[in-house]
Copies of this chain bind each other. A is one copy, B any other.
């Protein structure tokens, strides 16, 4: 491979979705941002939309704004369904945080499998998912069965299958692993889970907006995800949840708030769940975050998931190639090498990962550190250029070659 900056520039010139970068507010042109998988950038349309929502809709329309806002959770859900997740309108809705949604859907699934005593997840699932499932298991006297995962290679579907039996009520896993970026085999795992009569709940936080999610093709039952990563909806924007249409009528979630009630504004006695995905809603939804999710989802839908996934694969392949050429065995790959089973981030091992992160930040490159020794590089395909990858890896190379990172304290994330 050609390792010149000119080559990176030529890749950008040929990039069919490269123009989407101009749709984002990018005030610091020197910054190399490798953390769009933690917090996505600000779309220009969102900035304008939020100003209008604050000044005109809230400031002027006041309570009358709810004539519009009341439909936001559903309309953004429908947009995510059609443009991002490729499922049907009415199967997705914006609601609460990812964590609250995991709780609601996992509890609903457990209620739908009475008499079964096991929840299956993996020992490298994102912490909040593990904690939430642990809480549900503790409250109900169930077993939380952890599948052992090779963190760098990702979930082995055979190991998941081996953990299943007819006492399993729910299998809850991440589609794209938050450390390695490994993509789980949703088809194989859903098939195995359904064979024993369990329901599946997928965490799509690192998938939505970055890779194709085969919810439909794999017969997935339930899913949740956030909007502040690849969907670029801003810090703490509301999450979404997916419930396959044929399951909705049979599932009840435990938090019976008024937004989940049929004919909510009748304010009548007694809870009666709405006859739609609305039954998974709870309280008054955040309007500003809802608009930001709408604008973010629109951009992703416009670019198209297939184009985004393909570019994400090429960006991460390119980062791996540069790391290999420039840093050799100073950085060991901590992600799958095959881009077909990797999301839009790539991770490397280094005993000095924490110090490298600090040095990169000082050099205006923002990566992420993951315990205990991982340097994670997120390459959001909607606005990251090949020259950004070249520039960021180049700065990393200079740091490693000069040893300048060793002047940063190794106080966190040290391999002990």
Q: Which of the listed residues A28, A136, A284 has the most CB atoms from chain B within 10 Å of its own CB?
A: A284
Question: Are B97 and A283 touching (Cβ within 8 A)?
Answer: yes
**Chain B positions within 8 Å of A131 at CB level:** 256-258, 260-261, 270-271
Whether the Cβ atoms of A66 and B235 lie closer than 8 Å is yes
Q: Looking at the complex, which one of B38, B60, B269, B289 makes contact with A289 (CB distance below 8 Å)?
A: B289
Which of the residues B134, B267, B284 comes within 8 Å of A270, measured between beta carbons? B134
Complex CA–CA separation, A289 to B257 (angstroms): 20
Is A64 in contact with B366, judged by CB distance below 8 angstroms? Answer: yes
Q: A59-B47, A63-B366, A132-B257 are in contact. Are A287 and B235 (CB under 8 A)?
A: yes
Stoichiometry, as copies per complex, reads: 2
A259 at the interface (CB under 8 A from B): yes
Residues in chain B near residue A371, CB distance under 8 A: 266-267
Q: Tell me if A258 and B99 are in contact (CB < 8 A).
A: yes
- In the assembly, what is the distance between CA of A255 and CA of B64, in Å? 34
On chain A, the number of residues with a Cβ less than 8 Å from chain B's Cβ atoms is 78
A414 at the B interface (CB under 8 A): no
CA distance A246 to B123 in the complex (A): 35
Q: Chain B nearest CB: distance from A378 CB in Å?
A: 10
Q: Determine whether the beta carbon of B288 is less than 8 Å from that of A234.
A: yes
Q: Are A96 and B261 in contact (CB under 8 A)?
A: no
Q: Are B62 and A33 in contact (CB under 8 A)?
A: yes
Measured in the bound complex, the distance between the Cα atoms of B128 and A259 in whole Å is 8
Q: Is the CB of A255 within 8 A of B99?
A: yes
**Residue among A38, A132, A226 with most chain B CB within 10 A:** A132
Q: Restricting to A26-78, which residues have a CB under 8 Å from any CB of B? A: 27-28, 31, 33, 35, 38-39, 41-42, 46-47, 50-51, 54-55, 57-60, 62-66, 69
What are the residues of chain B within 8 A of A60 when measuring CB–CB? 27-28
Residue A135 CB within 8 A of the other chain: yes
Interface-forming stretch among A185-193, A236-244, A393-401? A236-244
Q: Who on chain B is nearest to A103 by CB?
A: B255
CB-contact partner of A25 in B50, B55, B69, B127, under 8 A: B55
Write out, one digit per residue, whether chain A residues 379-394 have a CB within 8 A of any chain B CB (1) or not (0).
Answer: 0000000000000000
Q: Of B58, B256, B285, which is within 8 A of A134 by CB?
A: B256
A158 surroundings in chain B (CB, below 8 A): none
Bound complex: CA A235 to CA B291 (Å): 12
Is A98 a contact of B284 with CB atoms below 8 Å?
A: yes
A254 within 8 A of B: yes
Instruction: Answer yes or no: A100 CB below 8 A from chain B CBs.
Output: yes
CB distance from A414 to the nearest CB of B (A): 13
A44 to chain B, nearest CB (A): 9
Given A236-B284, A287-B235, A50-B54 contact (CB < 8 Å): yes
Docked complex: A196-240 residues within 8 A CB-CB of B: 226, 228, 234-239
Asked if B226 and A284 sit within 8 Å, CB to CB, the answer is yes
Complex contacts, A100 vs chain B, CB 8 Å = 96, 100, 255, 257, 282-283
Q: A59-B25, A135-B254 are in contact. Are A284 and B97 (CB under 8 A)?
A: yes
Please give, as numbers and ranges, the residues of chain B lying within 8 Å of A336 by CB-CB distance: none
When distances are taken between beta carbons in the complex, the residues of chain B under 8 Å from A123 are 269
For the complex, what is the distance from the CA of A94 to the CA of B255, rounded to whole Å? 19
A366 to chain B: which residues have CB within 8 Å?
62-64
Chain B nearest CB from A340 CB (Å) reads 27
| Nearest 6 pairs of A and B residues by beta carbon | A97-B283, A99-B283, A135-B256, A99-B257, A128-B258, A235-B287
Question: Could you list 10 examples of A-B contacts with CB < 8 Å?
Answer: A64-B366, A100-B282, A127-B258, A131-B270, A134-B256, A134-B270, A234-B287, A235-B288, A236-B285, A288-B288
Chain A interfacial positions (CB closer than 8 Å to B) = 25, 27-28, 31, 33, 35, 38-39, 41-42, 46-47, 50-51, 54-55, 57-60, 62-66, 69, 96-100, 103, 123, 127-128, 130-132, 134-136, 139, 226, 228, 234-239, 254-261, 264, 266-271, 282-290, 292, 366, 368, 371
